[in-house]
Each structure stands twice: as C-alpha cells, then as structure tokens.
Structure 1
Amino acid sequence: MSRHLDLHARRLQARGEAFYTIGSAGHEGNAAIACAFRHTDPAFLHYRDAAFLIQRSRAVPGQTPLWDLLLSFAASAEDPISGGRHKVLGSKTLHIPPQTSTIASHLPKAVGASYSLGLWRRLGGAGEWPVDSVAICSFGDASFNHSTAQGALNAAGWAAYQGAPMPLVMVCEDNGIGISTPTPDGWIEANMRSRPGFHYLACDGLDLLDTWWATREAERIARRRKQPVFLHMRCVRLYGHAGSDAQQAYMTPSRIKADEARDPLLVTAGLLQRHGVLDAAAIEALYRSVAERVAHVAEEAIRRPKLKAAGEVMASIVPPTRPGRARPWQGEVDATPAPMAKLLNQALQRLMIRYPHLVMAGEDIGRKGGVYGVTQRLQAQFGPHRVIDTLLDEQSILGLGIGLGQNGLVPILEIQFLAYLHNAEDQLRGEAATLSFFSNGQYTNPMVVRIAGLGYQKGFGGHFHNDNAIAVLRDIPGLLVACPSNAADAVGLLQEAVRLADEEQRVVVVIEPIALYHTRDLFEEGDQRWCFADPGPEHRLGVGELGVWGEGRELAIVTYGNGVYLSRQAAARLEADGVALRIVDLRWLTAIDHDAVHRLVADCAQILVVDECRRNGSPSEELIAGLVERGMASDRLNRMTAEDSFIPLGRAATVTLPSVESIVEQGRCLTVRRGQVNEIATQMAGATSARSSEA
C-alpha cells in the first residue's frame, strides 16, 4: 500500500491533483518497526514512514489509512490530521503527531516527550501517553548531520549519562544519500556505536525479520531500562528524493539499477516464498489488487472539498481551549514594594504552587537561581525535577518544552539572553507554533518562554547581552509576545501567560528587560519610584490590554519596556516646560489592539512612538501603519527608534538607542512646532475674517 501510494502520488501530481511527493519507496521496512511498539507509544515520524503509519493503524479497529493518506495527498479539507494544510503523516488516534520538518528539527521535542514520561511518573500523574510509554522518532542519514539532530542526540545522551529516565528509540533510516550528496560509508555507525548514554543497534531495513528482531530489542531496552537506543536501519532510496528529482542527473545507471535490485518489496516477496506464506502468483495478485484499490480510492479522494478561504486556512493557528487547572491561592502576598526581579520571583513561586503540572527549565535557573536572581530558591523549594538545570543548548531547551507541553505539562522555559535565542528560533517558528496549525488543533504544545533581553544593561554589555532584535518573534503566526515595563506589570503579564498556556494552550514569549530587573529609582537615587507592590495572584493583563499614564493632550508617547521608564523620566522635564502629555504602554508586542491605541491617542495633537528596537523590523512600523490605516494624519505621527546597529561594549552601549535626552528634545520640538502651526492657523483665520468684514 505504501509503495502504490508513492507511485500514484506521482501520477496525481502530473494531473495537478497531488502536491507533495516525497515518498517512502525503499524505506518500507519501518512497517516492522511499527509492529514492535504499542500504538500508544508517541511516534515522531520521518516523512518516509508511511508504512509505519499504515501498519500501526492495523492495531486499532476502524482505521482507514489509505483513504486518510490520499486525502492528505490531495490537500483535502477532510484530511483527518491536517485538514488540508500539508501532506503530513499523523493521527491523533494512533499517537502520531504530524511533523513537517525535513532537517530533523522534530528530534528535540521527541527527547522532551521522552523526558516527560519519567517526569509524570515522579509527579504521580499522567499526560497524553501512558507513563510506561516509549517515545519513537525517525530521521534520515543526511539529517543526522544537522545541528538540530546532533543537539538532540547530545541532550538525550547527556541526560541518560546522568541516570535520568529516557525511554527513547531514535531510528536513523540510512539510505546512503541526501538528495544528491552521498553519506560516507560507515559514518553513522562510527558516530553512534560508542556514543555515551546510548545503546547502538543496527538492522537491515530490507529484511523485515531482521528489522523486527532488532526493534524488539530496542523496545525492550527503552521500555524496561528507560535508556535511549539508536536504531540504525539501513535501507535504499528508490525513485529519487521526490517527484521533481531526476536522480539520473547525479547517479549512474548502474547505481540506479543496483538500488532497484535491493527493493525491499522484492526481498519481502522472497521471504514470503521461502517461509511458505505466499507463492509468486499470490504475491503478484496481491500487488495488482492493491494498485487497483489505490487508484480507485484516489479518484474519490481528489473530489473531496479543499480549503478555499483565508479564514479556513487560519482556523487552526490558535489552539482550542481546555479547562484550567489552577488551584485556588490560599497563601499571603508580600506587598512590600520591590523591583521587577523580586516580584517575578514571588510570582513564579505562587505559580508553581497553584499549578502542580508546571515545570521550569533553563540554564543555571536552579542552584544558581538564574543570572539575575529571578529564580532564586525555587529549586530548593520545588525540587530539581520541577526546576530543571538544563545543558547549555537553546535548541534542546525549547525542544524539551515542546515535548513537555505536548504531554500535558505546562513548561516555563528560560532563555538566558535574547541573543542566545537566534540559534534556536526554528524550534518556535517551525515546531512549536505550527503544531496546532498542521494538526487542525488536535495536537498542541502550550508553553511560556521567558527571555532576558533588550538594551541599556550597564557594566555587562555588548551585543550578546544587549540585544534589541525581536522581529523574529513578532512575525510567527499565533505566537504571543509580552514585554513588561515595571514590576507590577511583569507579574500581571507572567500570570496571564501561564493562564494562556494552561487554558488556551498558547505559546507565549515574555521578554523581560534586563536593565529593569533591579531598577528601584525613577528620578533620583533613593526615591524608590520604580518599586511596586505585588498585585497578587489574580492580577492578569490580558492580550492587547494597554497601560496609560497621564491625561495630557499635547503629546502622546506610545512605547514599551525600557521606553516607558525613559519616557517617564522625560515626561517630568517636559511637564516642567508646560507640555501636557500621556504615555501609552503597549505591554503586548503582538496581537496589538490598534483600535484601542487609536482611541487613546486620537485627541492628542502629536504622537511620538518611542521604540528601543531597530528602525527596520520594529513594533513602531506596525504602530504607525495602524494609526494611518485608522485615519490619523501623517503630520501628527513621529517615530524614534534605535539605530539599525548591533550594540557595542562599554560607554557606547546606549548611543544607538533612544535616551531621556532624545525623547525630551523630540517632545519639545513637536510641541513647539505644533504651537507654531496653531499660531499661524489662528493668524490666517483672523486675516480671513478681517477680509470678509471689509468685503
């Protein structure tokens, strides 16, 4: 069935009825792998594993894998896994989450899913999968070389080496070539045979019996000993990389012919004959009958409805909601005014008590308490299994969180510095944010990611510790990004982020301004004006909810993060000059309520957007566009941003960023200019009136 699906997909593509023809031909031996596991074991599959899905479907009555896969090929809205959004291998019933990655970017979350099984055992509960499950993931020999795959292998081995339960089987389907680039002979085995933390097993993927026996051993080790296994399945790639790939352009005719002679269907036919299961005539009859069935069902599948409107396509970007699991708060709240780092620590402590399925993970967050002390004493209170000190690898941290979230936990992950996110951002863009989209809302990975970032940090600057590049987060569909400017708002945003993850299954990033973590004073040393009382466990700032300071109508400053702090200092000097102004704090940098922004600034003479991020790709671009679209005259709109520059070290660390001085100067210029315009307009109106009287 898998083979005829591959063949017929190419025929349908030629007719314009199928759209993605990377097939499984030559890899069908993974059907024997499917036989060795329970259908409840989560399987994160390589795109050449149709035979695995078809075989697993036989373990559950009522499954229709042929029909389902053909609907996926045809991008039908009735495709039961993606709803027509992509050709993926997946099934909620069969515990096969859909994967779209072609570079093994699904491996970190498979490691996270495996880790979650042991974590649930320790917590005394269960998530989406039974706690005695084994996580399976598969990938190709070319993808093995990708940094994401290597990071996942390292993370799994690192954890297992220290005795952490890691029931995981990683299947490398080695066909010896990556599109046109050969894999060196022996490369995979040489890398993995003696890798710390792993058991290495190999099998001949052309031989179902050999693959079965090796997989049974892999399953036994992973399930009973809770240790990771690398299963090296040698196979062959037939028909090229995909439908558009002409392999004769880079492979000799003799090599192609030799590969065709190694066809696993031929090898399997030989096994069936030798063991007296089927004779040649019965094998041929079976082969032809399946071909006819595939062709017949395909003609029905291609006529099923397709997605037609943008709303239909986007319907699954935002996951479905579920009942909240927070316990009522019964403790006291320390209302002593404090800076952001202190109140965040108090809020995290409360959240860990209220949400027993909440888990924190990140570099140095446990024993050290974080670089800036935000997570101090939490590991001592809740244990190293709930406040996890991870290895130094952001891809693995985010992958861990995706796997935990997919198995019913709510992770709060910490990325130590914003600049460290950029080598791992695909885990958010290509994996976390797409899971609901490509599973039609059936699979989700709710999570909260705390990132220390932005500029103005003193004494420890430079590009890697002062990074103001957030565009990569703001353009990911469905991802929510918050940024507090003060301690009370930090509590409100964090508590809402956890509620969003727990109840609405969202992926939320909170960017915490490093420079404001321990800031206490606003105008002068010792005034404690930037310390705030803890607003308590029920205080939440909803998505798009804006903060407003002041009621002046001459100037409105729209800003966020450090910009609010700087604008408050600038406001004191501008008000001393007689300028009546207000400050609008965005708080949320995605899903901005542009109608609300417009309402708050519409009665102001001038609007100044103060944006600490770079001029290109910053929130100010969206804000200005939103106001213009709502009829705001361009001569009232002004923008102040950071320069399009990396941030240097030392005393020059802030020269490319907005400052109190630059905000004051711009505010004075705008209000003076507005006054001059009004005066000229008054004079012109008077002159016109006088001429009318004379006439």
Structure 2
Amino acid sequence: MTQTLTMVKALNAGLRRALAADPTVVLSGEDIGKLGGVFRVTEGLQAEFGADRVIDTPLAESGIVGTAIGMAVRGYRPVVEIQFDGFVFPAFDQLVTQAARLFHRTHGRINVPLVLRLPYGGGIGSVEHHSDSPEAYFAHTPGLKVVAAATPSDAYWMIQQAIASPDPVIFLEPKRRYHEKGEVDTEATPLPLHQARVVKQGRDLTVLAYGTMVRPCVEAAIVAADEGRDLEVIDLRSISPLDDDTILTSVAKTGRAVVVHEAHRTLGVGAEIAARIQERCFYALQAPVLRVTGYDMPFPPSRAESEYLPDLDRVLDAVDRSLAF
C-alpha cells in the first residue's frame, strides 16, 4: 500500500511495525513516551505498546545508552532516541568504547543490536548544540554502522532494517526534512541498508550526498539540465560502510565528482570519499574531486546559518568549477 507521509510519520510507522513484529524491540529516550518525543516521532507508541516497551528515561545520555547496551547484550533490540545531535557526546564513550567493540572483544560471541536515532543538522533556527553534524566521529569508529535517510520512504524502511541489524547503528535523521512529504510503499522491496541509491542518472558529473543535502543536489541537477549539463545524483544512504561499487561505477562513467555534506570540511566524510575515488578511479578522472561542505567552525547562531549551510548556489558553483577543467 502506498501512502503520502512526512518523514516523522514514516519513522513512526516504521517503528510501530518493528515493535509489532518483534517483542524484543524496545524504545527508550527522554520524553519519547507520553510526549512522543521532541519531534513527535514516537507519538502514540507508548499508548499502543506500553510503558515497558516505550520507555521515558531520565535526562542522562550516558546512562540511557549504557543501559541500552546492556539490554542488547541480554537479547533485546533497543532503539534509543537522542533528542538533538549535540546531546550525543555525553554518551560518546559508551558508543565508541563499549558498543563498537564488544563483538570484536568477545571474538564474535556477543552482538550489540542497538540503534541510536540521532536528529542531526541545521536549518531549523535552533540554539547551540542543536544543529551539529557529528557523523564523521562515528564513521571513524570500527564496529559502528552509520546511515542517513533522505526521504520518507527510506526513513520507513531503513529504520526497520537498522533495528534488524546485528550491529550497533547510528541512524541519522535530517531534522530539516522531518515535515517534507513523500510516497511510502509499505509493501515494496527496499534497497539493502548499506546500498547507495542513484537518484538521477547522468553523464557529465557525479554529485554525491546524503541526508539533508540530497534535496539541494537534485535541485542543482534540474538547474544544470536547463544549461545542457547532465548530472548524476547519488544518495549515499550509508556512510559506514560506504557503497564503493555504486560510487566508483558512477565516477568512472562521468569522470568528475562533487561531494556535498553540511558537516565540517576537514577530515569529513567527503574527504574519505575523495580519497577512495582518487585511489581507484584516478585514470578516469577529468577533474579533481571537489567538496561542498560546512565550514571549519562551530555551528553559527541561527541568523547566520544560511551563510554556513551548503545550498543550491554552492553546489552549482562546484559543478561549474569541475566542468571548467
């Protein structure tokens, strides 16, 4: 059945389906029960499944994640909501020194099927600690998987796939896209969790993005088409692991690549992608791999965030520079 849903409603439907299908799935986080979460993603789920499966926790991110790791080790599939991206850092130690390492530390005897839902990114006029993009920290950590949904359909399917994964998954939710609508086919066969999606085929240049930045890249492709330039747009969907096959096949075809993300530039996801393309597509490249990113500074106050965030014009400028080589 196909429905038109916002990303918030798609996530809610995906979580509901996972809760109904598997009694070991448990949700936890600050205000996720009676309130339904700060963004209302879990609205109505506690009333439907009970307070022992949709758990309101104290305001203590390290304790929330630490408890969830223990539950995962004991056979549950906990799904933790962190209210905002910048609040994840008190739990960073639990994630990178415990959740990410237990499988290897125990020689594969213990899995940690934990999902950490993380609303991320700017564009909603929030105060400090509410607009960060911390994905590179987690992608740098072996043992953690990192994925990002860009559409309601992906949000619906990917949250269920993340919950079913035997590994800890950092699930990035682009809060700026929460209320944008899209079609969700609840009977479709979804892409594998860690496979990229070719949003638009093209021949002149490959634009790679994930989460929030997919939309301006598609818009850039539409504008470029009016100028006779045919861009291929790829939604990475998975940041760790990266879908090398889809990325490299595309760049080998087009000979040019622009990577777009709103996180900081230095040592960001774009740098890793650029390195992989250079190593494996060197003789196909007709121009350097370019990056369109946030700047190397703390996220600015809300009045200045439009100057910080990559947008249509910055993507098109990179396209122009690449095609000029």
| 1:562 match | 212
- Given candidates 600, 607, 613, the residue that maps to 2:263 is 613
| Partners of 2:135 and 2:146 within 8 A in 1 | no
- Give 2:275's aligned residue: 625
For residues 281 and 256 of structure 2, what CA distance do their matches in structure 1 show? 14
Deviation per CA, 1:632-663: give whole Å up to 9, x if none.
23724211111111112222113122111111
TM-score normalised by structure 1 residue count: 0.45
Matched residue type, 1:470: E
Report the Cα distance in structure 2 between the residues aligned to 1:498 and 1:537, rounded to whole angstroms: 18
Amino acid at match of 1:665: D
- Which gives a bigger RCO, structure 1 or 2 (Cα 8 Å, sep 6+)? 2
1:393 has 2:60 as partner: yes
CA contact (8 A) 1:495 1:537 kept: no
Measured after TM superposition, the shift of residue 538 of structure 1 is: 6.3
**8 Å CA contact retained: 2:33, 2:54:** yes
Aligned with 1:516 (options 170, 174, 177): 177
The residue number in structure 2 matching 1:492 is 157
Q: Does 1:346 align with 2:13?
A: yes
* Contact 2:255/2:287 (<8 A) preserved: no
Structure 1 spans left out of the alignment, 5+ residues: 1-332, 520-530, 675-695
Q: For the residues of structure 1 that align with 2:207 and 2:92, how far apart are their CA atoms?
A: 31
Contact 1:552 1:580 in 2 (8 A): yes
The answer to whether the 8 A contact 1:555-1:607 is kept is yes
- 2:72 aligned partner: 405
Secondary structure of 2:290's counterpart equals strand
SS at match of 2:260: strand
Quick one: distance in 2 between partners of 1:439 and 1:535? 39
Amino acid at match of 2:319: G
My pick for the range that moved more, 574-583 or 393-402, is 574-583
Percent identical among aligned pairs is: 32
TM-aligned CA deviation for residue 543 of structure 1: 4.0
Q: Which residue of 1 aligns with 2:22?
A: 355
Post-superposition offset of 1:370: 0.8
Q: Confirm or deny that 1:379 pairs with 2:46.
A: yes
Give the drift of 1:545: 0.5
8 Å CA contact 1:628–1:634 kept in 2: the answer is no
Q: Tell me, which stretches of 5 or more residues in structure 2 are unaligned?
A: none
After TM superposition, the score normalised by the length of structure 2 is: 0.95
- The residue type paired with residue 415 of structure 1 is I
The answer to whether residue 122 in structure 2 is matched with residue 451 in structure 1 is no
C-alpha distance in 2, partners of 1:345/1:553?
A: 38
**SS in structure 1 at match of 2:184:** coil
**Aligned residues of 1:404 and 1:411 also touching (Cα < 8 A):** yes
Alpha carbons 2:28, 2:56 under 8 Å: kept: yes
Q: Which of 284, 291, 314 lines up with 1:662 in the alignment?
A: 314
RMSD over aligned CA atoms reads 1.6
Q: Does 1:424 align with 2:91?
A: yes
In structure 2, give the amino acid aligned to 1:412.
V
| Aligned equivalents of 1:436, 1:555: Cα separation in 2 | 40
1:97-116 equivalences in 2 (<5 Å): none
Instruction: Give SS of 1:348's match.
Output: helix
Q: State yes or no: 1:575 paired with 2:236.
A: no
Match in the other structure for 1:434 = 101
Structure 2 CA distance, aligned partners of 1:372 and 1:655?
Answer: 25
Question: Which residue number corresponds to residue 534 of structure 1?
Answer: 184
Instruction: Look at both structures and tell me which one has the larger radius of gyration over its CA atoms.
Output: 1
Q: What secondary structure sits across from 2:185 in the alignment? A: coil
SS at match of 1:571: helix
**Alignment of 1:640 onto 2:292:** yes
Q: What is the rounded CA distance, in whole Å, between the counterparts of 1:434 and 1:619 in structure 2?
A: 22
Query: What is the rounded CA distance, in whole Å, between the counterparts of 1:564 and 1:506 in structure 2?
Result: 26
Q: Which has the higher strand share?
A: 2
**C-alpha deviation, 1:444, in angstroms:** 2.8
Counterpart Cα distance in 1 of 2:320 and 2:109: 54
**Residue 539 of structure 1: how far off its partner (Å):** 4.2
User: Contact 2:206–2:233 at 8 Å: present in 1 too?
Assistant: yes
The CA deviation at 1:541 is 3.4
Letter in 2 for 1:433: A
Q: Distance in 1 between matches of 2:187 and 2:129?
A: 34
Matches within 5 A, 1:76-91: none
Cα distance in 2 for residues equivalent to 1:618 and 1:370 = 29
Aligned: 1:471 with 2:121:
no
CA drift at 1:587: 0.3
Structure 2 partner of 1:595: 245
